[in-house]
Structure 1
Amino acid sequence: MRKLIAIAAAGLLALPAHATGLDIEIAGEANGTVHVDLFEDVAPEHVKQITQLAASGAYDGVYFHRVIDQFMAQTGDVEFARTEGGDMRRAGMGGSDLPDLKAEFSDRPFERGVVGMARSQDPNSANSQFFIMFGPSPQLNGQYTVVGEVTEGMDVVDRIKRGEGQNGAVIGEPDRMVKVTVTE
């Protein structure tokens, strides 16, 4: 896995000339495909990193480890929240071998279906994790990088297994991204 990510980072893995989206095949309580339109004009570096990770297969088999009802579903911990070789006790603490990204804040609001980059308290710490909004959360506006929005399959997102408690930790078997494909 790390080798694939390194190859993608070095630019040796062919990506579509103009990536416009992702198709995310989800399995678990939610089964189906979600299409995300990516905003290259709003967050070009974040979109580049997400598409590199998707093209390398890094997102395949990654769980939705943090899901808070009426707020968001978070995934993308390619280091720990994996079906193979992961450590769910550390889910949400990992990232990829690619460098963290400088924030690309915009005036795009966090509404239902918007996809944002997860990060620590440091605004310049986004790496591989992202989240999909179940509903509007204006408190995130201008605080997190918006990278895209769901244009098909929001009904699938709505069925993702919810977590418990304030942190939304999923108990038992979380839903997962089976395959993430870059679309043109």
Structure 2
Amino acid sequence: MKKLGLFLLTAILAGFSVSCGGDSSSSLADMKLTELNLADKGIPVSLQAPEGAEIKDGMFMGEFGGIKMLDYEIVKDEFVLEVSMDDAEETRTVEEIVSDAKETAQTEDGFVEFVKEESNGFIYKVKTDDYEDYKFHYVLMKDKKAIEFTEGLKLFTEFTQKDAETLYNIAKNAK
């Protein structure tokens, strides 16, 4: 009985995901952006974000193995950008961090290809029977700290390639 309930819940969520996903009527590229500074949150970076965007604690906020992790999601409607940094001085180069992130991306279920590759980051495509999604990873080295940008978690919808490129360019232009 428990399995039947779980199956029905999964089927309902899958149907909701398909009916709500991937075809957003507004584009991230069309949002009016303003400067957002995360220095008061402990991350020495400022970037463009939609007017009225909220800064929420991300899933990886906290302390792990004695290292304090700062992780925030900047959210406004379909805009979800994750910005993270730990308090340890970075010993790896940007190239090593990006290489590790690329290896992780390639192990993701449905990984198809890298659609953009640069020295500080990349955009990649994921596709399954149920959805097609574009994701990215970008690294900014500042004050001997690696500030990492990724697409944030959106429930029941996916990022288009254009959306991923918009978020990637925001990360790329962060200062």
| TM-score, normalising length: structure 2 | 0.26
Taking CA–CA contacts closer than 8 Å with sequence separation of 6 or more, which of the two structures ends up with the larger relative contact order? 1
Q: TM-score if structure 1 supplies the norm length?
A: 0.25
Report which of the two has the higher share of helix.
2
| Bigger-Rg structure (1/2) | 2
